[in-house]
Structure 1
Amino acid sequence: MKIGYARTSTTEQLAGLEAQSRNLKEWECERIFSEQVSGASPHRPQLEAALDHLRPGDVLVVTKPDRLARSTADLLGYVEKVKAKECGLVILSMSGMTLDTTNPTSKLMLTMLAAVAEFERDLMKERQAEGIAKAQADGKYLGRKPTARNQTEEVKALAASGMSPSKIAEKLGMGRTSVYRCLGKVA
């Protein structure tokens, strides 16, 4: 049985999740587990469910290695988990080729490509941190503006009119904690 797993990092990436599901269906996955959670999250319930669902002889199918893991070590750990269940792992879009970890050549290529992807991600983070540091030094990057605090006067006026903190939060599109902070009731 082919078991598909699709993941995007945020709920705004719905089109990406749909595209992955479509690719997995085209690959004739009989069951697809999907979720919208960061790959860095230690708890990915649908991935855990997909792994639990695997039976000897099954194949776990993902569209790209980064949908499954964030680092080479993490990816190889999943390869070993799948292998321990006597199953295979197939990664569909690796620059136009499909990698199937049931053969040694594909496993070697997967390891090398995962290492390169991790290296590229580390370089990107480094460049991003350098860009932020330069922008801060130039006074151009001050972080996110405190949007809730900009509405302090409106929060106080609504509270003075008798509106509850929950209703204020709903009306102004902010969290209840932010309302209390504007009212000076939370540090």
Structure 2
Amino acid sequence: MSKGQRVGYVRVSSLDQNTARQLDGLDLDRIFEDHASGKDTHRPQLQELLRFVRDGDTVVVHSMDRLGRNVDELRTLVTDLNTRGVRVEFHREGLTFTGDRNPMNTLLLTLLGAVAEFLRAQILENQREGIAKAKQAGKYRGRKRALTPAQVQDLRRQVQAGAQKSALAREFGISRETLYTYLRSG
């Protein structure tokens, strides 16, 4: 196996979060950065990384939960990369997966992936319980709307006039998904 590139992958869940600490100080040839939930593998930069890496490359990820929060998808990603001759290193855990049929590596990947999946489910359950209690006490009003009613009218007017949706999302400071939500809601 020839020495390939060291390719980093970093992920945070939202645009206002910072990825700087994740692979800080590591010598990498290229970094792919997603600002998206880890609930599934439908992340643009992850998909680009999967197309980019070649036999002999090493993918470096800060921790397993940055690559995936679902044990099945995590195992599938690592297995797919290893089958293609790509090593996967998880920096925080100090683990490297090369495709060797090592029972300990399989156990650790499955176990730590399951822990990440469990923690994600626990966070969501706690969030639902907290919201339900706050609603019951009359204290929950939901998230503040990103746009005022006047801005929503302006947004819809510009879309009808043929303006590009991605440019409008940037102009209004919202994600494209939020833009589409506003367009569907009225």
TM-superposed CA distance for 1:82, in Å, is 0.3
- The structure richer in helix per residue is 1
Count of aligned positions? 156
Moved over 4 A (4+): none
SS in 1 for 2:113: helix
Residue deviations 1:139-163 (CA, integer Å, cap 9, x gap): 11122355725x79xx9xxx9xxxx
CA deviation after TM superposition for structure 1 residue 32, in Å: 1.6
Counterpart amino acid of residue 56 in structure 2:
G
Change (3 A) 1:132 1:86: same
Please list every run of 5 or more consecutive structure 2 residues that lacks an aligned counterpart in the other structure. Answer: 159-171
Q: In the alignment, what sits opposite 2:97?
A: 101
Deviation at 1:132, TM superposition (A): 1.0
> Which residue of the partner structure matches residue 170 of structure 1?
none
Matches within 5 A, 1:1-187: 1=4, 2-14=6-18, 17-23=19-25, 26=26, 28-40=27-39, 43-94=42-93, 98-102=94-98, 103=100, 104=102, 105-145=104-144, 148-149=148-149, 187=186
TM-score, normalisation: structure 1: 0.69
Please give the alpha-carbon distance, in whole angstroms, between the structure 2 residues aligned to 1:174 and 1:51. 29
> Which residue does 2:166 correspond to in 1?
none
Question: Unaligned regions of 5+ residues in structure 1, if any?
Answer: 160-164, 167-172
Code of the aligned partner of 1:101? F
Instruction: Give the secondary structure class of the aligned counterpart of 1:111.
Output: helix
Q: Normalising to structure 2: TM-score of the pair? A: 0.70
When Rg is computed on C-alpha atoms for both structures, the one with the higher figure is 1
AA partner of residue 148 (structure 1) = T
Give the Å deviation of 1:42.
5.2
1:120 & 1:135 partners in 2: Cα distance? 22
Displacement of 1:73 in angstroms is 0.9
Q: 1:144 to 1:124 in 2, by over 3 A?
A: closer
**Identity over the aligned pairs, expressed in percent?**
36
Q: How many Å apart are 1:70 and its aligned residue? A: 2.0
